[in-house]
Chain A
Amino acid sequence: MRLSFLISLISLGFLSSLGAQVKFEREYRLDREEIPKPALQFIEACPFENRIKWYGEESQEGKSVEAKTKHLGRKYSIEFDTSGQIQDVEAIVDWEELPKSLQEKIQACFDSSFEKVRIKKIQQQWTGQEENLLQVLQQKPTKSTYEIKYEIVIKARSEDGKNLYEMLFSDQGEVLRKDLIQPDNSDNLIY
């Protein structure tokens, strides 16, 4: 309890020192010829049966290549750098799938930062060595270490009004990043 309070406090301090930077992301489809070979080889070693869609992505963190697919009813996204080296694996998960202690820490962070929060999307993120990430995707038990983080998109109400945020939490519930998502312009759909 004391530890979770400490983590929440540290998270809060970190959050306010970070503020919320505006998230920038551009995504576009890639043809097979445009995909770096190591990225293709990694995906071929994965047990995916469904179609793989390839995207190029540009964000504050630079350029990357992303493979998206659905496997065993779950949406996966595997991110590589432009040379094809794996950066992380992401899978969409439900709130109930998070460990109870982590749920409590994240909830405490939400309660202290916002008046009202609605979770829109949770992505579990694995980072580590290529072979470890492959084992994660192959659902093989692995003794090797890998890091788990959680990227959560929330609709939140605070004194700044209602906004969309993307927050990155460690598996200990620490806030690592908070980005404000600017809704794209929809005037052409309304008028």
Chain B
Amino acid sequence: MTRLTSILILFLLFSIESRGQHSWRSGLVPQINANYKLGKSWKINAKTENRIRLASGTFGKEKTTEYQYERTDLSLIISYKTGLNTNAAIGQLIRFRGEKILHRSIQQFSVVQRLSGLKLAHRFSTDQTWAKEEKPVYRFRYRLASEFPLNGQKTDPREFYIKLSNEYLYISSFAFDDFEIRLSPILGYALTNNNKLEVGLDYRIDSFRLTYNRSSFWTRVSWYVSF
């Protein structure tokens, strides 16, 4: 998987280079992620996430430094434990972007594997986004996330861990089809088993359909809490 990802990144960098234009943007994404258990098998996940752009530009050319609030996402997902390590979930997200409001329906299935000194989570999901005066957008996603404890065989309370995630998205709408790839190295700290803080980079590359690509470098600060 690591070798495949490296080859893919090299291929992407080569193709980006050959296409010339490559814009970028960076900023901050603070997130609060709360999970509430409903009985033995059901769980509710509520998330709020803001995105603030701090700089943007084109590689090798001009750069603009700016503080610009971009959007706020609110989502509510209900999940059902289908097995010891599997979950099926559906939910809804509302995105506030300026005066525009987007609605997104989410369906996902996840599998968690607990290996010796490593935890892997596979997430398969689809979503559909609607907004006023815009064509609907359909996305098909796969994400592989891994967690490596920095002390011992598993992450215990008051211990740091590394979280690496890699996601592939196929985006389809009536107007266009596109790909997006995300890579995210994160440093986490478990205050307790149900209370975790994370900070790290969320790198995204998209706009493969255009004659230029766009890279995004978001600094992600997340708080995960479960009740």
B-binding residues in A (CB < 8 A): 26-29, 55, 155, 161-164, 183-191
Contact = CB atoms under 8 A, between A and B. Distances in A.
Contacts of A187: 33, 35, 45, 224, 226
Nearest to B114: A183
Contact of B110 (A163, A183, A185, A190): A190
Given A162-B84, A190-B121, A27 B33 contact: no
Interface string B141-166: 00001110001111111010001010
Nearest to B108: A190
Contacts of A163: 84
Interface string B216-227: 000000101010
Interface of B: 33, 35, 40-41, 45, 47, 77, 79, 83-85, 87, 110, 112, 114, 119, 121, 123, 145-147, 151-157, 159, 163, 165, 188, 193-194, 196, 198, 222, 224, 226
Given A55-B152, A185-B194, A188-B188, 19 more contacts: A26-B152, A28-B152, A29-B151, A55-B153, A162-B84, A163-B84, A184-B119, A184-B154, A184-B155, A185-B226, A186-B147, A188-B198, A189-B165, A190-B110, A190-B123, A190-B145, A191-B33, A191-B35, A191-B77
A32 to B, nearest CB: 16
10 contacts: A28-B159, A29-B151, A163-B84, A164-B84, A183-B85, A184-B119, A185-B196, A186-B119, A190-B87, A191-B45
B84 A188 contact: no
B40 A26 contact: no
Contacts, number: 73
Nearest to B194: A185
Contact of B47 (A27, A183, A191): A191
Contacts of A29: 151-152
Contacts of B40: 161
Contacts of A55: 152-153
Contact of A190 (B112, B146, B156): B112
Nearest to A189: B121
Contacts of B152: 26-29, 55
Given A29-B151, A29-B152, A188 B87 contact: no
Contacts of A27: 152-154, 156
B110 A188 contact: no
A186 B121 contact: yes
